[in-house]
Amino acid sequence: MEIINIEQGRPRVDQAMVKLQNGIYKARATGKPFAKIIHGYGSSGTGGAIKEALPRALRDYQIRRVIVSYCPGEDFGPFSQAAREMSARHPEISRDSDWGMHNDGITVIMFK
């Protein structure tokens, strides 16, 4: 699975969204069906600004058909409909080290 690290260097939200865009297009070009976005959870303990901005950006990528779906790390496992749909299309996703770990600092996206 490709890794898109948008938290490295502690960027502002606008900088992280540029990293996200570049990372998505680069990961998509590999032909792999998934990528894992590392965005962190924020130092406040209640979720950071990047984590809050990410779902809005990912919905836009879905609307534009750049990605098929996404699943926040806290839901990435067998009890989430989005994760189960990913696993139904690509069973190997359930072998990822973050599957079922409730990792609030990642989000998994599916390209095809």
Q: What is the pLDDT of residue 62?
A: 97
Q: What is the pLDDT of residue 48?
A: 82
pTM for this prediction: 0.93
Q: What is the pLDDT of residue 20?
A: 98
Give me the phi and psi of 34, to 5 degrees please.
-135, 160
User: Residue 33: which CATH number?
Assistant: 3.30.1370.110
Give the count of domains, the chain.
1
Spans in the chain with pLDDT lower than 70? 42-47
Q: What is the pLDDT of residue 47?
A: 61
Q: What is the pLDDT of residue 41?
A: 82
Instruction: Identify the domain containing residue 55 by its residue range.
Output: 2-110
